[in-house]
Structure 1
Amino acid sequence: MIETARLAGFFTAHGIWCVSEGETLIPLIGYEHPDGEYGMDRLVFDDLSEGARAGQDALADGDPSWVSAVLVADGYIHLDQGKTDALLVEAVRYGPYRQSMRLAVPYRPADTPRGFAVHRPKFMDAECGDPQFNAMAEAFFVGAASHTEAHAVWDAHLDESV
């Protein structure tokens, strides 16, 4: 799952880069081939939720050429301060023992009075005490940092108060 967490970080950073200017993210599916190469498809539909559903179907079905895949979609999560914009991320590692992870990266949209901000990722379906959790979280951030243009935006707008 470490490689999959890295893939998730890379494509989540790409999503952050897209929403940083106020754009609503068109759902995207990023994937890794056996040779380590990444690919990405935008899921363009009349309705963004249709694109997200198509991405969930694609993740569930997989593709014979994918080792791992990640879906990144724009949405909301509920935090202590209420309904919050977030990139919703689902990642899958294919193989004989399919593994998955889910997380959300809350953000403050650019068109708000205080401007764009990226908040701490919220890992779901993971136990913080699990020894693998720390390694997966670290791999996620390594993947995000490997997308240099996007990571510069993320780093410049980081607000860890949420």
Structure 2
Amino acid sequence: MIETARLAGFFAAHGVWCVSEGETLVPLLGYEHADGEYGMNRMMFDDYAEGARAGQDALEDGDPSWVGAVLVADGYIHLDQGKTDALIVEAVQYGPYRQTMQLAVPYRPAQDERGFAVHKPKFMNADCDDPAFDAVAEAFFVGAASHTEAHAVWDAHLDESV
């Protein structure tokens, strides 16, 4: 799951970069081939929700050439302070023992009077007490940092108060 967590971090960072200017993120499906090469498809549909559903279907079905894939879609999560914009990240590691991870990267839209901010990722359906969790979380952040342009935006707008 470590490689897939890196993949999820890379494409989550790409999503942060995309929404930093105030645009709604077109759902994106990123994937890794066995040779380590990344690829990406934008799920461009007339209806945003239809694009997200098509991305979920593609993520579920997979492709024989993929070792892992991640769907990043613009949405909302509910936090203590209420409904919050977030990039919803779903990742799958394919193979004989399929593993999944879900997380959200909350953000404050650029249109907000306080300006754009990105907040700490919220790992969902994860056992934070599991010894493997720390390694997976670290791999996610390593993956995010590997997208240098996007990571610079993330780092410059990081607000850890949320």
Q: TM-score, normalised by structure 1?
A: 1.00
Percent identity over the alignment is 84
Find the aligned partners of 2:47 and 2:133 in 1 and give their Cα distance. 34
Q: How many residues align?
A: 162
Question: Is 1:80 the counterpart of 2:80 in the alignment?
Answer: yes
State the Cα RMSD in Å: 0.3
Structure 1: where are the runs of 5+ without partners?
none
Secondary structure of 1:23's aligned partner: coil
> Helix, strand or coil: the match of 1:67?
strand
- Please give the per-residue CA displacement for 1:57-110, whole angstroms capped at 9, x wherever unaligned: 001100011000000000000000000000000000000110000000000000
1:6 maps to 6
The question of 1:54 aligning with 2:29 is answered no
Between the aligned partners of 2:154 and 2:38, the Cα distance in structure 1 is 21
Q: How much does 1:3 deviate?
A: 0.2
- Counterparts of 2:41 and 2:64, CA distance in 1: 16
| 3-state SS, counterpart of residue 66 of structure 2 | coil
* Letter paired with 1:3: E
Q: How does 1:43-122 map to 2 (within 5 A)?
A: 43-122=43-122
1:26 aligns with 2:26: yes
Residue 139 of structure 1, CA deviation: 0.2
1:109-144 per-residue CA deviation (whole Å, 9 max, x = no partner) reads 000000000000000010111011000000000000
In 2, Cα distance between equivalents of 1:43 and 1:127: 31
4+ residue segments displaced more than 4 Å? none
Q: Secondary structure at the match of 1:123?
A: strand
Distance 1:45 1:84 in 2: 24
Superposition deviation, residue 11 in structure 1: 0.2
Cα distance, 1:44 vs. partner?
A: 0.1
- The equivalent of 1:134 in structure 2 is 134
For 1:117 and 1:132, the matched residues in 2 are separated by: 29
Aligned to 1:153: 153
